[in-house]
Amino acid sequence: MTLDGWLLLELLALGSVAGFMAGLLGIGGGMMMVPMMTWIFGRIGVEPGQAVKMAIATSMATIVFTSLSSVRAHHARGAVRWDLLRGLAPGIVVGGLLTGAGIFAALDGRGLALFFAAFIGFSALQMLRDRKPKPSRQMPGHAGQVAVGGLIGFVSGLLGAGGAFLSVPFMTWCNVPIREAVGTSAALGFPIAAANTVGYLIAGRALAPALPGAYGYLYLPALVIIAVASVSLAPLGAHVAHRTDTRLLKRIFAVMLLGLAAYMAWQSRRG
């Protein structure tokens, strides 16, 4: 399998859109990249269950680069809560390593696709309800933030996503303003992606390559192309985010998640 012109264009387009959405909504692109890369890998001959796992792992690895570009843009606008990052990051690293290095390899790919669909669909419906948090509710203390971070890192590793589908709703539920929640979630994408990617490399080190250029669960050509494209577009998404109505921002996030949840639910039924 060579990296033909059509595949190159698909990956460039996917990286560009994912990078823009990463800056706009604080996501590292995983919510969009996993379904699309699952389709791409299936189209070029990868078995459906393995295609889902490769999409999850490769998507997560690209977030290492996208998150750095996105968080720089959000930090320049004062939208990153570094105190919350310090509280959540230790749990995220532990949860991510636990998933990537252990549980991920043992799970069936189609089961992961169904879990992806159910979890992000639920997250989207909660955001569309737009229930107002109690004015007195605040972020938990240090121990609580470590525990929440562990859950975010663990679940993100199963889905190949940067964690915004959990961290943005949670922080807004705790009365963190939406733009600060988005900016902080962009920053959280780096420890989530780094910890899980290390775990995927450990878990897949003895796996036979499904495609030329694959290493374990990672497809390296896609990683490079998507990372370059997404890093280029993430600052533009962050620029737009700071000029968009917050209610519209939530609705964009929720509608996108519902559409991708439906696709992955269909994907889980294949084969």
| 237 C-beta neighbours (distance < 10 Å), count | 27
AA letter at 68? L
Global pTM reads 0.74
CA dist 181 and 134 (Å) reads 17
Contact 19/232 with Cβ under 8 angstroms?
A: yes
Q: What is the DSSP letter of 101?
A: I
List of residues 6+ apart from 56 with CB closer than 8 A: 30, 34, 104, 112, 116, 158, 159, 160, 217
Confidence category of residue 147, pLDDT binned at 50, 70, 90: very high
List of residues 6+ apart from 167 with CB closer than 8 A: 26, 88, 152, 181, 184, 185, 188
Give me 81's structure tokens: 């809560």
pLDDT in tens, 77-131: 787 889 888 998 899 888 888 887 777 776 776 777 777 778 777 767 766 776 6
CA dist 223 and 245 (Å) reads 33
Return the SS3 of 215: strand
Contact 211/219 with Cβ under 8 angstroms?
A: yes
Domain boundaries, the chain: 5-268
Residue 1: its pLDDT value, please?
46
CA dist 144 and 117 (Å) reads 27
CA dist 25 and 102 (Å) reads 30
pLDDT in tens, 240-265: 777 777 567 667 767 777 877 776 77
Mean pLDDT for 12-16 is 87
